[in-house]
């Protein structure tokens, strides 16, 4: 097989490289900068240009990393590699691997809707497609993001009318930029937790069209938040860090908010079903568009999705990886308390 599933990660024996390995290796191709896909300790990293700075931010400035453009081809020992937009977060890519006429694609994480900053997911024809399926159940159906953002804007207005600050929680890399890009100007000022502020400033320096935001410090006066939008990482929920925003309404932005039980568990005042992963229809659309004859399903509802594909004429098989899990967006390792 051109790509193999090993205990270190997805491996290409012919080219002697790994994709998103979870143990240190010699050569790692990285789909995107989230910590379950981009891990410490490998000798050389290869990723999209836009991921380079993010990788350095998360793994250290001294890593050996090479950036490439979408569609640019790289050759390792007779194996051709190229990256293609995955639409998940800034710099996220699918990895296409070809040897002779044998073509494999690993999706990494992806969504099919264009969010304005993460690129437009591009279906890449192949024989074998390795796909994520975080939301691989038909109960997950996303609304177009324009509708979700108008709901969020309305919510912020309602909070202002009720004299409350608006606190939105979303993953610091990906969700936060998507929110900020699409909510530009929603309040006079936008305030953010340091976990969000740092990558945000870095991306602004790199030329991304993101609005100006302010970093929350222990010295920020309460008056600064008044009627404004505040963005924090999911792990900030239920911590003392939140107290300074009183009175506030809490909104959580995540695909998991589709199910009421999850929302109630988060003690959120509002749940916005906004995900950077493909929904059920998006997964099916992506798989079909590749024309793949064989599919491997990685993290998420992988056994369910594989069985459904198989029953519908696309042989598919679940593989165990160490990427995320179905609680990815719910249990994040970022600690917010260090900021308080």
* Footprint of other proteins (CB under 8 A): 137-139, 141, 258-265, 267-271, 301, 304, 307-308, 311, 325, 331
How many CA atoms, within 13 angstroms, populate the side-chain half-sphere of residue 292? 29
In whole angstroms, the minimum distance from the beta carbon of 172 to other proteins comes to: 21
Q: Which is nearer to other proteins, 54 or 137 (CB)?
A: 137
* Residue nearer to other proteins on the CB measure, 227 or 326: 326
Rounded to an integer, what distance in angstroms lies between the CA atom of residue 11 and that of residue 198? 33
**Residue (86 or 133) nearer to other proteins, CB:** 133
| Burial class of residue 189, CB neighbours in 10 A (0-12, 13-18, 19+) | middle
- Compute the least distance from the CB of residue 144 to other proteins, in Å: 12
Whichever of 29 and 336 has its CB closer to other proteins, that residue is 336
**How far apart are the C-alpha atoms of 284 and 276, rounded to whole Å?**
16
Whichever of 137 and 274 has its CB closer to other proteins, that residue is 137
Which are the contacts of 329, defined by CB distance < 8 A and separation ≥ 6? Answer: 171, 175, 234, 254, 255, 256, 275
Alpha carbon distance 194, 340 (integer Å): 10
Q: How far is the CB of 16 from other proteins (least distance, A)?
A: 32
Question: What's the min distance (Å) between Cβ of 170 and other proteins?
Answer: 18
Q: To the nearest whole angstrom, how small is the minimum distance from the Cβ of residue 221 to other proteins? A: 27
CA distances to 99, 183, 215, 230, 301 from 326, in Å: 33, 27, 31, 27, 7
Supply the minimum distance, in Å, between the C-beta of residue 331 and other proteins. Answer: 8
Side-chain-facing half-sphere of 46: CA atoms under 13 Å: 21
Nearest to 259 by CA among 273, 274, 249: 273
Strand 102-106 versus strand 128-133 pairing type: parallel
Instruction: State which residue, 33 or 268, has the beta carbon closest to other proteins.
Output: 268
Q: CB-wise, 4 or 143, nearer to other proteins?
A: 143
Q: Which residues pair with 67 in a beta bridge?
A: 47
Phi, then psi, of 151 in degrees rounded to 5: -65, -40
- From the CB of 155, what's the least distance to other proteins, in Å? 12
């Amino acid at each position: 097989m051109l790509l193999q599933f090993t205990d270190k990660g997805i491996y290409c024996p012919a080219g002697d490289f790994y994709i998103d390995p979870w143990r240190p290796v010699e050569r790692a191709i990285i789909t995107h900068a989230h910590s379950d896909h981009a891990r410490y300790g490998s000798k050389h990293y290869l990723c999209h240009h836009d991921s380079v700075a993010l990788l350095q931010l998360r793994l250290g400035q001294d890593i050996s990393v090479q950036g490439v453009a979408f569609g640019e081809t790289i050759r390792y020992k007779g194996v051709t590699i190229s990256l293609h937009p995955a639409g998940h977060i800034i710099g996220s890519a699918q990895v296409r691997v070809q040897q002779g006429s044998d073509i494999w694609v690993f999706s990494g994480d992806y969504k099919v809707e264009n969010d304005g900053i993460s690129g437009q997911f591009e279906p890449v024809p192949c024989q074998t497609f390795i796909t994520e399926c975080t939301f691989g159940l038909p109960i997950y159906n996303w609304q177009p993001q324009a509708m979700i953002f108008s709901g969020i804007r309305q919510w912020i207005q309602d909070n202002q009318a009720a004299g409350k600050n608006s606190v939105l929680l979303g993953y610091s890399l990906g969700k936060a930029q998507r929110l900020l890009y699409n909510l530009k100007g929603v309040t006079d000022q936008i305030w953010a937790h340091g976990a969000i502020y740092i990558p945000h400033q870095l991306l602004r320096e790199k030329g991304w069209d993101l609005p100006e935001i302010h970093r929350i410090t222990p010295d920020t006066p309460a008056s600064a938040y008044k009627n404004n939008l505040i963005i924090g990482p999911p792990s900030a929920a239920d911590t003392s860090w939140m107290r300074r925003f009183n009175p506030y309404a809490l909104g959580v932005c995540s695909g998991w908010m589709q199910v009421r039980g999850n929302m109630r568990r988060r003690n959120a005042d509002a749940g916005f079903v906004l995900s950077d992963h493909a929904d059920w229809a998006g997964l099916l659309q992506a798989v079909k568009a590749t024309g793949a004859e064989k599919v491997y399903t990685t993290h998420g509802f992988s056994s369910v999705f594989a069985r459904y594909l198989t029953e519908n004429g696309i042989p598919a098989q679940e593989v165990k990886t160490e990427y995320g899990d179905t609680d990815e967006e719910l249990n994040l390792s970022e600690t917010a308390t260090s900021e308080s």
